Amino acid sequence: MSRVCPRISGTPTAAGKHCPKKVGTVPLTVGVLALQGDVDEHRNALSDLGARPVAVRRPSDLAGVDALVIPGGESTAIIKLADAFEMTEPLQHAVQSGVPVLGSCAGMVLLAREVLDGEPGQTTFGGLDITVRRNAFGRQVDSFEEDITIAGVEGGPMRAIFIRAPWVETVGEDVEVLARTSQAYHADKVVAVAQGSVMACSFHPELTPDRRLHALFLQRVKGRSGQ
């Protein structure tokens, strides 16, 4: 089935059509960490926007990528698999060296400087000067959807899906807050941030047909690479 994909301006393409297939003059190669989680969903979103997604399962897969996506899933499972496949240090090095990264849900947890309610001594890849609370919105049964406004994304609010999602407890002075929740029960929680070449969100943009957050990320990647 074809996916309807709004451009970053929020103006959708014709029903049933994909987004334009060119992102700059040369398609960006975007690695998707493929150890666990919503790997295919992110790859579909990136393909819809004209990027070239590649699966990243071992250190050699990082060679030649313009950017990296860490998908939603289970943060403790991802980090254990990263350790098993000897990916943790290469991923930390990639983030520290300035490779642009987008993390969703578990990906946000793994990009944080500090994790609350995680496993003792939980390792992260770093990149964001934030403290996150793992599973802050509750268990699977507490999952919810909400329309949120994201800085830099035009065309009105985006539908956000929160599944055992984290929220951001504290942000460093160099961190840009992109979005907060508005629901009365969990109002004003920080759920999307950016710092330098790294972006992260608490929700799952890969699970909706709205590609604007992925498009914003790719625009930031192109801006940093001069495309």
Catalytic residues, by residue number, are 105, 204, 206
| List of residues 6+ apart from 137 with CB closer than 8 A | 143, 144, 162, 164, 165, 166, 167, 186, 202
80: number of CA atoms within 13 Å, CB side? 7
Q: Helices marked H in 85-209 — which ranges?
A: 88-96, 106-111
d(CA 182, CA 42): 26
Report the C-alpha gap between 38 and 51 in whole angstroms.
17
